[in-house]
Amino acid sequence: MSATAELRSGAMTAPDAPPRPALSVEGLTISVRAEGRERALVRDLSFTLAPGETIAIAGESGSGKSLTSLAIMGLLPPPALRVSAGAIRLDGEDLTRLPEGRMRAIRGNRIAMIFQEPMTSLNPVLSIGRQLSEAIRAHAPVSRTEARRRALEALKAVRISEPERRLDQFPHELSGGMRQRVMIAMALALRPDVLIADEPTTALDVTVQREVLDLLRDLQREMGTAIILITHDMGVVAEMAERVIVMKQGQVVETGPVAQIFAAPQQPYTRDLLAAVPRMGDGSGAPAPAAETAPVARLRDLCVRFDIRGGLLSRVTHRVHAVEGVSFDIRAGETFSLVGESGCGKSTIAKALTGLVPHQGSIEVAGHRLGGLSPREMKALRRDVQIVFQDPMAALDPRMRVGDLVGEPLLIHGIGTPETRRARVATLFERVGLARDQLDRYPHEFSGGQRQRICIARAFALQPKLIIADESVSALDVSVQARVLDLLAALKREFGIAYLFISHDMAVVENISDRVAVMFMGQMVEMGTRAQIFGNPQHPYTRRLMAAVPVPDPGFERPPLPRLAGEVPSPVYPLGKAPRRQILRDIGGGHLVVGAAAEGR
Amino acid sequence: MLAYVFRRLVQSALILLGVSFITFLLLYVLPADPVRQIAGRSATPETVENIRRQLGLDQPFIVQYGRYLAGLFHGDMGRSYLQKTEVAALIMARLPATLLLMLGAIVAELAIGLSLGVLAAVRRGGALDQSLMIASFVAVSAPQFVVGLLLLYVFAVKLGWFPIGGYGHLSNLVLPAMTLGIMGSGWYSRMMRSSMIDVLRSDYIRTARAKGLGRARVLALHAMPNAILPIIAMIGIDIGIFMSGIVVVESVFGWPGIGQLAWQAIQRVDIPIIMGVTLVSACAIVLGNLLADLVTPFIDPRIKLR
């Protein structure tokens, strides 16, 4: 859809004249001053945004896309960062030259913004109603009651459940999806001309992302707001935007209508970026390895519950049923994936497997049963199970050299002499694609992808039987993600190791898994081979998860789905009550589904 | 909330019991003999023994402590060895002065510390920030008797703005309260500065600015309440720190509070008064901390007292 076709009745101009842009950016250059030198972080960026249009700025970390949005808002943190050249024009006025007082009248009024982290973007000590009406009263001269009425109206517009009650609630009482709705309500309450959405759904679960994207599109249609969508997710770009600007290291690589960029990318970087995007298919591909290898891990009827105390004597009143009656095997040499949304218990299973949380039921790892082990036996068991975490920066001690970090497991388990350890670390380093001479550097000297490689090298140091990868590639850029996934697959083939791969990303799971289990509210709702789950999903929740994934294809027609505003049910039960156990049935070939064979519950 | 307060009060009673035991034990093993103080140098051994028996100081430790505790449960803190007055009456006569002094000190240290901390955070890295942080370091390190005498010399003797000593008027309170609070103001300015810097970096401050709010409103309404949160708990602890300070400050300024009472009692080994003052102080500390914890949920809705 071209920009001119989007011309709305509200923005009437001469029929053949181009519509007056809602915003235009001309030769924008953003510089940072460090050590007395100025360095451009964004160079010569130009685009115009028509009323009601959505333009996506896509790129990986360090591309300058978020800096651009802060520059438009006039929120670049001084004095280090500043707009050093170019102009940002709104109604012909250059925003980069406006004094703070006049810029303030535009911020939140004509141009509004929503951010990536809904969990931290709202002030924790002020009520939702107060934060909303404050945004309204900052620009509209209305009374408190009137502002509150309009705040309620804005909440209703974003289809939040029980809007009246939300006004008096505080941010911590709301889920991430609800908080992002509040942010959108706040941004759109004054009907701005331009909305900047900086990774608005990156921190959200995939079904919530779906709801928020739908909502943004509905509101845009209703209000005619122009949207600048900042994102790294090409699926979101394909579904939301009309035009796209691909950026890399502060420079525009390519720009054009979405259909054209996806169908015929001109630049090699755009082609690589699109090629690296994991796509969901029907689960075809190489079949899972022979089913009859011995299991590395056996979980039977695993339950993990956390107590919530209350009352005069702080007795247990409620329990969080984090994991409830989960059973599965992980076979040698396979990748077994757990998928589900936040709070479904997938990470708790990983913790139970490594003995980090107490559990009920039985867990056997490499022939040893967890629970009742002596500290020494526990230590031996830990040799066989290693974890690669989500955030490689947080998982590496910033004050240790990376060589020592990778060699530390060997040291802890007393393996080898200093020389042999050093040699082993060097071999591991080369195996994960890093250079031997980088061993004496510190974690901050590496990029995110390299850090994750270091974490992988550390996990492999003890030659474990099972590696738990807990969202290990979720924080990485797509091109880096693809390479790390390749590395994991290659290492699996080489060492015959098994992975427990935990992820919320259905496309990534399809690309790497042999078998998949879908979890919901602490229980498993479906389990089977990749082909069974992705080719023939049975449970409604599995289908919903898959349908929610953004498709990186502008031509894709999404079947209309009912707009959802519901809340995720809670796994907290009063003492003595327990969630109803779901019974898994085999519908053929080891494909297990909850409830009736074909229809689900 | 009520259940929480009840549980905390039970805990507090146990703490006070522990404090009373430890203090009593320390005084028991102290080599100084209170009876000698009472009887005077010229007393005969018989008189000394008589007094000792009268006061029950010839009894084994556990009996003495048991009697003291039994008295406490009936609201009897005993009588001063030397003044023969009831300890409770002595303390009650002087407690208001001390509480007033502490209140003044808290107001002074918060007013000075928090405002300078915010100023330093906003001007972070600048000359003002650096000089404020040096000043706060001096404030934290300076001994109270030096600060007290310095303030007296400058503001009372030289400038004549405030009286040199005395009690009863608001102007009497200013210098002692400043002296007692100046160390805290140094602490608070440093804590508030780092807390503010953290908060100013947070996402919700960016959101507040993106709404188009003015700088002053962002600071006062969005940043400060969040920055103060980690500091509130410290105010409860302050009361404990003040307790050691009032002995010095009350002596320097001739302030008629329990600090002076305690100082005299220690010199004369007047055990009932020492015990009384210690227990009242412990009570104040325990209640101060409880109060600080009770205030927190009013500022931070995420905190529920259970």
pLDDT at A289: 56
pLDDT at A194: 94
What is the four-CA torsion angle of B65, B66, B68, B69, rounded to 10 degrees? 110
Name the minimum distance, in Å, from the CA of A168 to any CA of chain B.
11
Angle at A382 between CA A377 and CA A384, to 5 degrees: 105
- Please indicate if any CB of chain A lies within 8 Å of the CB of B153: no
Question: Does residue A287 surpass a pLDDT of 70?
Answer: no
The answer as to whether A317 is a domain residue is no
Cis peptide before A409 (omega within 30 of 0): no
Single out the residue of B210, B201, B271, B278 nearest to residue B244, CA to CA. Answer: B278
* Cβ contact, residue pair A121, B207, below 8 Å: yes
- B159 or A563, greater pLDDT: B159
- Exposed (0-12), middle (13-18) or buried (19+): which is A574, by Cβ within 10 Å? exposed
Report pLDDT digits (tens) over A109-151. 999 999 888 888 999 999 999 999 999 999 989 999 999 999 9
The answer as to whether B146 is a domain residue is yes
pLDDT at A408: 92
- How many other CB atoms are found less than 10 A from the CB of residue B9? 12
- A312 interaction partners in chain B (CB closer than 8 Å): 3, 6-7
pLDDT at A309: 79
The answer as to whether B176 is a domain residue is yes
Q: Tell me, yes or no, whether A257 and A335 share the same domain.
A: no
Question: Does residue A17 surpass a pLDDT of 80?
Answer: no
Nearest to A310 among B6, B215, B306 (CB): B306
A238, A257, A276: which is the final residue of a domain? A276
Domain that holds residue A45: 4-110+192-276
Best residue in A125, A128, A190, A317 for a mutation probing chain B (most B CBs within 10 Å) = A125
Name the minimum distance, in Å, from the CA of A201 to any CA of chain B.
16
How far is Cα A329 from Cα A312, in angstroms, rounded to an integer?
A: 43
Report pLDDT digits (tens) over B26-65. 988 888 788 877 887 788 888 888 888 888 888 888 998 9
Report pLDDT digits (tens) over A36-45. 788 899 999 9
Q: Tell me, yes or no, whether A345 and A475 share the same domain.
A: yes
Q: Which residues contact A378 (CB under 8 A, 6 or more apart)?
A: A355
pLDDT at B209: 93
Token representation of residue A197:
């959405």
Q: Tell me, yes or no, whether A393 and A258 share the same domain.
A: no
Mean pLDDT of A438-449: 88
CB pairs under 8 A between A and B: 79
Q: Tell me, yes or no, whether A400 and A255 share the same domain.
A: no
pLDDT at A291: 56
Q: Tell me, yes or no, whether A350 and A495 share the same domain.
A: yes
Domain count, chain A: 2
Q: Tell me, yes or no, whether A334 and A236 share the same domain.
A: no
Angle at A112 between CA A109 and CA A113, to 5 degrees: 160
Domain count, chain B: 1
The answer as to whether B169 is a domain residue is yes
- B302 interaction partners in chain A (CB closer than 8 Å): 124, 170, 172
Mean pLDDT of A461-472: 91
Nearest to B210 among A108, A125, A126 (CB): A108
Question: Does residue A564 surpass a pLDDT of 70?
Answer: no
pLDDT at B167: 83
The answer as to whether A25 is a domain residue is yes
- A134 interaction partners in chain B (CB closer than 8 Å): 211, 213, 221
* Cβ contact, residue pair A186, B209, below 8 Å: no
Angle at B198 between CA B194 and CA B203, to 5 degrees: 165
- Please indicate if any CB of chain A lies within 8 Å of the CB of B96: no
How far is Cα A33 from Cα A80, in angstroms, rounded to an integer?
A: 5
Q: Tell me, yes or no, whether A377 and A259 share the same domain.
A: no
pLDDT at A18: 63
Domain that holds residue B154: 102-268
Name the minimum distance, in Å, from the CA of B284 to any CA of chain A.
24
Mean pLDDT of A509-515: 90
Nearest to A125 among B203, B215, B226 (CB): B226
The answer as to whether A265 is a domain residue is yes
A308 — pLDDT class (breaks 50, 70, 90): confident
Report pLDDT digits (tens) over A398-427. 999 999 999 999 999 888 899 999 999 999
Mean pLDDT of A353-366: 88
Q: Tell me, yes or no, whether A267 and A404 share the same domain.
A: no
How far is Cα A229 from Cα A239, in angstroms, rounded to an integer?
A: 11
The answer as to whether B97 is a domain residue is no
The answer as to whether A448 is a domain residue is yes
The answer as to whether B135 is a domain residue is yes
pLDDT at A242: 93
Token representation of residue A106:
């535009």
Spell B29-43 as b/e; 16+ CB within 10 A means b.
eeeeebbeebbeeee
pLDDT at A589: 80
The answer as to whether A162 is a domain residue is no
User: Per DSSP, which regions of A438-562 are E strands?
Assistant: 466-470, 498-503, 515-520, 523-529
Phi, psi torsion values for A111, nearest 5 degrees? -125, 125
Nearest to A115 among B3, B207, B302 (CB): B207
pLDDT at A9: 41
Mean pLDDT of A42-56: 93
The answer as to whether A253 is a domain residue is yes
* Cβ contact, residue pair B209, A75, below 8 Å: yes
Strands A194-198 and A111-114 come out as: parallel
Nearest to A105 among B7, B212, B302 (CB): B212
CATH number at residue A386: 3.40.50.300
Mean pLDDT of A68-80: 88
* Cβ contact, residue pair B212, A125, below 8 Å: no
How far is Cα A178 from Cα A566, in angstroms, rounded to an integer?
A: 9
Q: Tell me, yes or no, whether A339 and A247 share the same domain.
A: no
* Cβ contact, residue pair A123, B207, below 8 Å: yes
The answer as to whether A337 is a domain residue is yes
What residue in B sits closest to A121 (Cα-Cα)? B204
* Cβ contact, residue pair B221, A113, below 8 Å: no
- A107 interaction partners in chain B (CB closer than 8 Å): 209-212
* Cβ contact, residue pair A107, B7, below 8 Å: no
Q: Tell me, yes or no, whether A198 and A89 share the same domain.
A: yes
How far is Cα A72 from Cα A87, in angstroms, rounded to an integer?
A: 10
* Cβ contact, residue pair B203, A314, below 8 Å: no
The answer as to whether A41 is a domain residue is yes
Ranges of chain B with pLDDT below 70: 306
CATH number at residue B122: 1.10.3720.10
Mean pLDDT of A159-187: 89
What residue in A sits closest to B296 (Cα-Cα)? A125
Q: Tell me, yes or no, whether A244 and A386 share the same domain.
A: no
A277 — pLDDT class (breaks 50, 70, 90): confident
